[in-house]
Copies of this chain bind each other. A is one copy, B any other.
């Protein structure tokens, strides 16, 4: 059943039926009701393709995702996607996933923007120098950012307070008496890694401690990388008594390193990790349960999708700039620093 047939059935023109269905004011309430009822009865569903062609709007939202062999953000991504999906589905928006490797990500974005397959894209994990943002801005293609854009002016984004989270976590460790602290951070070119780095540094400065007590490492946040890094540090003479982990996965690697070296957590080593609340990977299911800085990646996904849809509906870029607070949850993986041996 298409519009033409439905219109014929009702002895009305396509115009009127279309308008009735789409809530235009030029049609009387009475006919609208009749049309709506008939549409319902015949199970009429407008063809998305036709509508798309006629309006030039795709009614779809694009998400580019990293399909590289070892997609680091994997478990995060689904949870995030779930959030995005939830709200966009409510508004009848489709979600188009475009796989891409970091190398040709920029091409992928260009294609999305020019093809008209989607009306807006969501950009994740902004970098210190982000050419995707540059490209989309130049093309004047609507987009919103999940994370902190390097230059937020005129860009709608939502981010968690990475700075505050790591400042708080670091201060907490310092208060517990820890002096040699290691930070296993994400890759340097991500803005979130920079923010976290600054947070930790500021905490040290505030406590009047020299910044070289903070041993910071940037790397892709995998368990494997974290294991290697932690193992090496923990075997050294001046081993850290506390490790700040960029993610739960990092904590997994650190835990393994500690276990292998016979170090007990939290007696010999304190661990605090950032937790994005992946239900599959709950911080409280570890042994010991992990002290974390917690934020909901899913809620972020929900919000960023809302923003994207608002953007399509005409909201100005830069209208939204939210930074969500992050909560420190103290569990069993942190304790007072061990007495100096």
Contacts and interface: CB of A to CB of B under 8 A. Distances in A.
A82 B58 contact: no
Contacts of A278: 74-75
Interface stretch (A179-187, A197-205, A250-258, A266-274): A250-258
A208 interface: no
A279 B70 contact: yes
B117 A75 contact: no
Interface residues of A, number: 58
A42 interface: no
B79 A99 contact: no
Given A71-B82, A116-B49, A222 B280 contact: yes
Given A79-B71, A86-B67, A281-B223, A53 B47 contact: yes
A259 B249 CA distance: 19
B48 A65 contact: no
Given A249-B280, A285-B252, A117 B94 contact: yes
A5 to B, nearest CB: 15
Nearest to A90: B99
A72 interface: yes
A98 interface: yes
B115 A224 contact: no
A117 B48 contact: yes
A193 to B, nearest CB: 18
Contact of A223 (B75, B77, B98, B282): B282
A85 B66 CA distance: 10
B279 A71 contact: yes
A76 to B, nearest CB: 8
A219 interface: no
Contacts of A78: 65, 71, 74-75, 77-78, 81
B99 A285 contact: no
Interface of A: 45, 47-50, 52-53, 56, 58, 60, 65, 67, 69-72, 74-75, 77-79, 81-82, 85-86, 88-89, 94-100, 111, 114-117, 222-224, 227, 249, 252-253, 255-256, 259-260, 278-282, 285-287
25 contacts: A45-B115, A47-B53, A48-B117, A49-B56, A49-B58, A52-B53, A53-B53, A65-B78, A67-B89, A70-B279, A72-B279, A75-B75, A81-B97, A82-B99, A89-B99, A89-B100, A94-B97, A94-B117, A95-B98, A97-B97, A224-B282, A252-B281, A252-B286, A255-B287, A256-B286
